[in-house]
Amino acid sequence: MLNTLPALLLTILWGTSFAVSSTPILMFENEILPIRFFSVSLVPMIFTVTFVTLAGLLSQFSQKGIIRGKFPREALHPVYLQRRIYGMMWTQVYYFKPLYAVVLAIPFFKTYVLRLFGYRGDTDFVLYPDTWIRDLPILKVGSGAYLSNKSTIGTNICLTDGSVLVDRVILEQKSLVGHLAMVAPGVKLGPSAEVGVGCAIGIRVRMAEGAKVNPSCTLNHGSIIGSHSEIGTYANVGLRTEVGPGLKVPSGTVLPPGMVFQTQQDVDRIVESQRLDLFNQKESLAQILQRTLEHVS
């Protein structure tokens, strides 16, 4: 079963696509050379349409397995099996880069393919061929959102206990996910929220409207960023930490896990205490260095 089913599905997908796309060559056997050239030129487009349509249609049977939850990574588990089939069909399209690039280049075609694979949200958002997306039935991207190239919209994550965690990712209208940023399952970005370049956004993080996370930040699982708040570059927001609306967290700040920051004074207090800690460490290191130098001399 584990070998037969994928082999069968892939044979149907590739075989049928090649057979259908070769129709112009077989049917238009014309003596006039330009006509023959023309019929050959149709082959790639016919192949593309047939291939993505078939992949999408074959994925239909397994789309009911694309649901939220935690499932064992066992090939014969009813949900995981369907996830595998869906994933196989989607990746046939996704990793076929020239074909996928053609799909994304034509808005109508992009909508058609996304809908075939079970996507239900808006389709007028920016998506690049190397932006990783999957589990389209539980992905929701708002109108005007921007998913940069090489960003990862991870609706699933494999865990060390042998299971896979699947959760929705909601990126509201005009939200932005920067280059190389990683978004984990269950993340919700509010309207116009921004995730900077190279950020790591943990499981079930919520960012409210207009919230901004500057480049190279880490937002640990379950953290909440209030509306129009800004997290400075290289900052680290701890597990379940909550940053209230309209706050500015300076660059490099480490917000401890579970803390709730409601006012700017709360943030300033933690920054000040960290500055003091660093100063004390610097002082003690200086003393150690001085002692060592005295000892050496």
Q: How far apart are CA 119 and CA 34, in angstroms?
A: 41
267: Cβ contacts below 8 Å, ≥ 6 apart: 243, 247, 248, 249, 250, 253, 255, 261
* Near another protein by CB under 8 A: residue from 106, 158, 260, 276: 260
**Distance, C-alpha 89 to centroid of its chain:** 18
- Residue closer to another protein, measured from CB, 172 or 230: 172
Q: For the CB of residue 259, give the shortest distance to another protein in the complex, in Å.
A: 5
* Near another protein by CB under 8 A: residue from 256, 284, 285, 290: 256
- CB-based contact 156:185 (threshold 8 Å): yes
Kindly write out the interface string for residues 182-221 of this chain, putting x where it contacts another protein by CB under 8 A and - elsewhere: ---------------------xx-x-------------xx
The window from 35-43, 100-108, 232-240, 284-292 that contacts another protein (CB under 8 A) reads: 232-240
Nearest of 229, 236, 238 to residue 263 by alpha carbon? 229
114: Cβ contacts below 8 Å, ≥ 6 apart: 123, 136
* Near another protein by CB under 8 A: residue from 56, 65, 137, 142: 142
Q: For the CB of residue 86, give the shortest distance to another protein in the complex, in Å.
A: 21
- Residue closer to another protein, measured from CB, 107 or 257: 257
- Residue closer to another protein, measured from CB, 167 or 194: 167
Based on the shown chain and the rule CB under 8 A, indicate whether residue 108 belongs to the binding site for another protein.
no
Q: Which two tokens stand for residue 224?
A: 């909440």
Based on the shown chain and the rule CB under 8 A, indicate whether residue 265 belongs to the binding site for another protein.
no
Give the three-state DSSP class for 154: coil
Kindly write out the interface string for residues 2-31 of this chain, putting x where it contacts another protein by CB under 8 A and - elsewhere: ------------------------------
Own/partner contacts of 9-17, CB < 8 Å, gap of 24 or more, are: 9/58, 9/85, 9/88, 9/89, 10/88, 10/92, 12/54, 12/58, 13/51, 13/54, 13/55, 13/58, 13/89, 13/92, 14/51, 16/50, 16/54, 17/47, 17/50, 17/51, 17/54
* Near another protein by CB under 8 A: residue from 120, 275, 282, 291: 120
Q: How far apart are CA 151 and CA 160, in angstroms?
A: 23
The window from 85-93, 117-125, 227-235, 281-289 that contacts another protein (CB under 8 A) reads: 117-125
Judged by the rule CB under 8 A, the positions of this chain that interact with another protein are 70, 120-122, 142-143, 159-161, 165, 203-204, 206, 220-222, 224, 238-241, 256-260, 262
